[in-house]
Amino acid sequence: MGRNAAAVLASIVGLVMVLTAFARPLEFLGTAVVDWFNVLAAIAFVLGGANLLKMNLLKISARDAGWGYSAVTVSVFLITIGVGLLKVGAHPDPLHPDVALSGDKEAVGGAFWWLYEYAMSPITSTLFALLAFYVASAAFRAFRAKNTAAILLLGTAFVVLLGRVYVGVLLTSWIPADNAWVSWLRLENLSGIIMGVFNNAGTRAMMIGIAIGIAATSLKILVGLDRSYLGSSD
Amino acid sequence: MSQLNAPLHDPAVERRANRMMVVILAIACGLLALRALIGSSIGSGADAVTEHGFGMVYVQESPKGFVSEVAKDRAADGTEVEVRTWKPAAPGQTPEISWTEWNEVTAGEWAAAQRARADAPASAPLVTVSWPRTAGVWFAALMTLAVLSFLWRDNPVYKLAESVVVGVSAGYWMIVATWDTLVPKLAGALVPAWTKAHLMPSLESAGVDWWGLVPLGLGMLLLCRLSARVSWLGIFPLAFVVGTFAGLRFVQNIESDLLAQVATMFEPLVVVKHQALAGADAAATPPIDWAGSIGASLSAVLILVGVLSVLAYFFFSLEHTGAVGGAARVGIWYLMITFGASFGFTVMGRIALLAARLEFLFDDWLWLIDPSGKH
């Protein structure tokens, strides 16, 4: 019963969204549903935060292995929430200086800005930078030029990488740049051709395929054929 | 596999690795102390001073003061109301509300300000070391090194950095969602007067919007997922989100991805380019640029062939034999080139990020390089 009602709800709001794209007078309905969607998405962040708190507090109370790290996570999470909600260190909006919480939460110099600038941003970008080593190491171990497809993949990656660094440009700098018949052989131009022609064609075809796939999946949800998002009925 | 893992579980190897790390850390600390001892020359000419430290951030004070004005205005129902507006206080005027903002300056500006304050203490603005921001640079540098320590192996310092980023990220996105969405769209709809008075004075509202109860109710149902007993109620907001997203994406994907991508395919396959004639007679026909024309035409044909062949590879309703099989094979080649280009691009992006982190360590923290002239 509950699953059927939920599937009907999904169909109704989905069809409203489709309808508003074709019937301009109903645009206000689409705007309202998108607003509700955004509010729900924001509440989902609150749910995520509450779940993080719950799981880590359970780990701390059970003194599980690594509970100290959970304590760090909980402390930092609560500090971030506290300074963010109270806008600690952020000055009010100059147009409304009498309203203490009217300022920008991410104003330079505020505690929330500090946490983003000196904790979140450097750690996340270093984590992503770390992948440079692992991608290179994995590629070195896994890539083998065994057939045409593998040779194309390896060769393209090599040309694109070399075409965007000084040493790559230097390697083919002896090819005259002003002769249009041969200048395309310079690595920086070859890299541009790969990106503009072959990569463009492949990406375009993939986007067409993905769009058809998403449209088909959306249609299955809208007519209630696909209910996998509701989980099993057990 | 067992041979590969064996040395890691050997206590003797473990002890040796730990000892090596302690030695490396000791050398690093020694180098940092040496770096502080040597110091840096900040500023130029007469302002130059030697600073025995690094990773410091300097700020300049910028006092702000505001005074209010009360004006009479007519409300929507015709009654006369008083409206208070705020403006910056003029020089010499006593502000009703004031605070000091601190703007970041370069080390050179700090050195020049020290000299100016020594000459005329009353007139020069205060430029000083910002200890919170300096602590921030040091914290960011240590966290960067902590994350990079994972290259050695998983260790407590890396786990600490990981715990910090999990807590900060979760809190950050929760706060962004609260201030950017929940306050204006939920609190602003249900309690507009209170929201305007205490949280968001710039909120534009025409009164209480009772439709705001719908997302509030669905949101409460979503939070039910935290309790095992009533978590089933969470399927309703989930259905709402999935349904809305499906409806939105159905139209948007067909419009912007499918139709727009197909539309770009309708381009001329034979392109004729002419050479530019500098200072030539406008009536004269410039000669054909054969290399440019052949290149552009070849590109257009290769793109069309590529898109059709990759789509043939994606089309599974026909067996991939004969002409379809040939087209699908060409499609695979195009896909491999696309994946290779994406791989190359991803690696380049990661290396650029790594370069940015190293620049932060050597520029902002250690003051060993100065590409932007900050110190």
pLDDT tens figures, B256-309:
888 988 888 888 888 888 877 666 565 667 788 888 889 899 999 999 999 999
pLDDT of A203 strictly over 90: yes
CB of A70 within 8 Å of a chain B CB? The answer is yes
Chain A closest CA to B284's CA: distance in Å? 23
Which residue among B172, B238, B343 sits closest to A120, beta carbon to beta carbon? B172
> Among residues A116, A146, A210, A28, which one has the least CA distance to residue B143?
A116
Q: Which residues of A46-76 are buried (b: 16+ CB within 10 A; e: fewer)?
A: bbebeebbeebeebbeeeeeeeebbebbbeb
Question: Do A98 and B240 count as a contact with CB atoms less than 8 A apart?
Answer: no
Nearest CA in chain A to B358: A126
**Residue range B44-69: mean pLDDT, rounded:** 84
Residue scoring higher pLDDT (B116 or A94): A94
Considering only CB atoms, B168 lies closest to which of A54, A119, A139, namely A119
Report residue A54 as tokens: 């719950």
- For B136, phi then psi, to 5°, come to -65, -45
What CA–CA distance (Å, rounded) separates B219 from B96? 41
Q: Is the dihedral of CA B128, B133, B135, B137 positive or negative?
A: negative
Average pLDDT over residues B207-232: 92
- Shortest distance between the Cα of A167 and any Cα of chain B, in A, equals 14
- What is the value of ipTM here, to two decimals? 0.88
CB contact under 8 A, A211 and B151: no
Answer yes or no: are the C-beta atoms of B310 and B335 closer than 8 Å.
yes
So what's the pLDDT on residue B147? Answer: 95
Q: Is residue B189's pLDDT more than 80?
A: yes
Over range B58-67, report the average pLDDT: 92
CA distances from B292 to A180, A191, B268, B287, B299 (A): 7, 17, 15, 12, 11
Per the model's pLDDT, the better-predicted residue between B3 and B55 turns out to be: B55
- Please tell me whether residue A126 adopts helix, strand or coil conformation: helix
Please state whether beta strands B40-42 and B49-51 pair in parallel, antiparallel, or not at all (unpaired).
Answer: antiparallel
pLDDT at B1: 42
Lowest model confidence (mean pLDDT) among A66-70, A201-205, B122-126, B351-355: B122-126
CB A3 within 8 A of CB A227: yes
On the CB side of A164, CA atoms within 13 Å amount to: 19
- Substitution target from B174, B265, B332 for chain A, most A beta carbons within 10 A: B174
Residue A42 banded pLDDT, cuts 50, 70, 90: very high
Mean pLDDT calculated for residue range B152-177:
94
Residue with tokens 């020694």: B30
**More confident of the two residues B42 and A29:** A29
Does A78 lie at the interface with B, CB-CB under 8 angstroms? yes
Please list, in sequence order, all residues whose beta carbon lies within 8 angstroms of the beta carbon of residue B154, skipping any fewer than 6 positions away. Answer: none
Residue range B94-140, pLDDT digits in tens: 999 999 999 999 888 888 888 887 777 777 788 899 999 999 999 99
Q: In one letter, which amino acid is B263? A: A
pLDDT at B340 over 50: yes
Share the mean pLDDT of chain A.
Answer: 91
Residue B280's pLDDT is 57
Q: Are A161 and B344 in contact (CB under 8 A)?
A: yes
The tokens for A44 are 């989902």
pLDDT at B75 over 90: no
Question: In this structure, what token pair is assigned to residue B184?
Answer: 């204006």
Cβ pairs A/B, distance under 8 A: 433
| A234 vs B: CB within 8 A | no
Eight-state DSSP code of residue B127 = E
CA atoms of B232 and A9, how far apart (whole Å): 15
Provide mean pLDDT across the span B160-186: 96
Q: What is the pLDDT of residues B309-327, one digit of tens each?
A: 999 999 888 888 899 999 9
HSE of B234 in the Cβ direction (CA atoms, 13 Å)? 16
Which residues in chain B have Cβ-Cβ distances shorter than 8 Å to A94?
64, 66, 86, 88
Q: What are the helix (H) ranges across A62-147? A: 67-86, 111-115, 121-142
Looking at residue B9, its pLDDT comes to 64
Q: Are residues A38 and B181 in contact, defined by beta-carbon separation less than 8 angstroms?
A: yes
A25-29, B8-12, B39-43, B349-353: the lowest-pLDDT one: B8-12
CB contact under 8 A, A124 and B165: yes
Tell me what pLDDT residue B3 has: 47
Beta-carbon separation of B305 and A42 below 8 A: no
pLDDT band at B7, cuts 50/70/90? low
Residue B306: closest CA among chain A residues belongs to which residue? A201
